[in-house]
Amino acid sequence: MDIRFGASVPEFLDYITGLGLDHVEFKREYLHGHPDAPDPERVRDLADDYGVSVTYHAPFRDWNLGSFNEASRRASVAQVKRTIDYAATAGAGAVVVHGGSVPRRYPEWVRSTAHENALQSLAECAEYAQLVGVPLCLENQPESDAKRRYTTTPGDLAAVLEEVDVTPKYFGVTLDVGHAKVNGHDWRAFVDRFGDRIRVCHLHDNDGTADEHEPLVDHGSVREAVPADYFVFETKSLPDIARSVGAEPTAPETRLVSDA
């Protein structure tokens, strides 16, 4: 569920279960922004009612685990920990997290501090995930001309996982196949490198030049090869979810208007 979607959670669940889908990932931006967003207890009840599994996506707008501003870094860690708490209450199977970033234009000493801060933040969050009992899953991100991100290649992602010394059971991987493609990597390279550590898989497509989040219709081979527990169509609009499963690209009538 993306912040751009106007649907309430019951409307959304009616929609996706009607398409034959049985999982929902809640982006915290949606839960922050929608006027009828449910609390985690309500999410748990709705998931039970509709027979769907749940994952949460930690915030990734207006925050940064790798901030060189210590107050901002701590606030970002607190948001991830709060998401883990909510996920535990909702009965979610995992929390997806991004690994932080720093503007490339900044001096080397700033970039070095940001990198160390990102590792420290991820360690704190992963240790908390282990304490609470909900796996935290680090996502491979798309490259950016403006920002240095730490998980864009299989090698970089492996280096972060190695630095953060938390059992793989509670510090796993989210494989985003669209991000891998736009970075020029075959998603299979991530499967070969991380195997059963991949708990969540994001499914979307692009033309190799931009992170477009277009529907990935030919996803059968990915689902067969990726040993993830949860697969998520990460699209920009509700009709694109239907397109992803080869259905008529319609959207539910909602009480809010969505500018997809």
Collapsing DSSP to helix, strand or coil, 102 comes out as strand
pLDDT of the residue at 260: 42
Whole-number Å distance between alpha carbons of 40 and 116: 32
Contacts of 62 (CB under 8 A, 6+ apart): none
Note whether 238 and 260 are within 8 A (CB).
yes
For 197, what's the count of Cα atoms within 13 Å in the CB-facing half-sphere? 21
Whose CA is closest to 257, among 65, 4, 84, 13? 4
| CA–CA separation, 260 and 165 (whole Å) | 40
pTM score, whole prediction: 0.95
Which long-range contacts (C-beta less than 8 Å, at least 24 apart) are formed by 49-52?
50/13, 50/17, 51/17, 51/22, 52/13, 52/16, 52/17, 52/21, 52/22, 52/23, 52/24
Q: What's the confidence (pLDDT) of residue 257?
A: 52
The domain spans of the chain are 9-244
Residue 188 and residue 140 in contact, taking contact as beta carbons nearer than 8 Å: no
188-219 in b/e burial notation, b at 16+ Cβ within 10 A?
A: eebbebbeebbbbbbbbbbeeeebebbbbeeb
* CA atoms of 96 and 135, how far apart (whole Å): 9
Does residue 27 sit in helix, strand or coil?
A: strand
Let me know the angle formed at the C-alpha of 202 by 62 and 98, rounded to the nearest 5 degrees. 30
CATH superfamily of 9-244: Divalent-metal-dependent TIM barrel enzymes (3.20.20.150)
- Model confidence over 156-203: pLDDT tens digits? 999 999 999 899 999 999 999 999 999 999 999 999 999 999 999 999
CA nearest 147: which of 254, 40, 65?
65
Give the pLDDT score at 252: 78
pLDDT at 259 (0 to 100): 47
Q: What is the pLDDT along the chain (260 residues), one digit of tens a residue?
A: 998 888 999 999 999 999 999 999 999 999 998 999 999 999 999 999 999 999 999 998 888 999 999 999 999 999 999 999 999 999 999 999 999 999 999 999 999 999 999 999 999 999 999 999 999 999 999 999 999 999 999 999 999 999 998 999 999 999 999 999 999 999 999 999 999 999 999 999 999 999 999 999 999 999 999 999 999 999 999 999 999 999 999 877 776 654 44
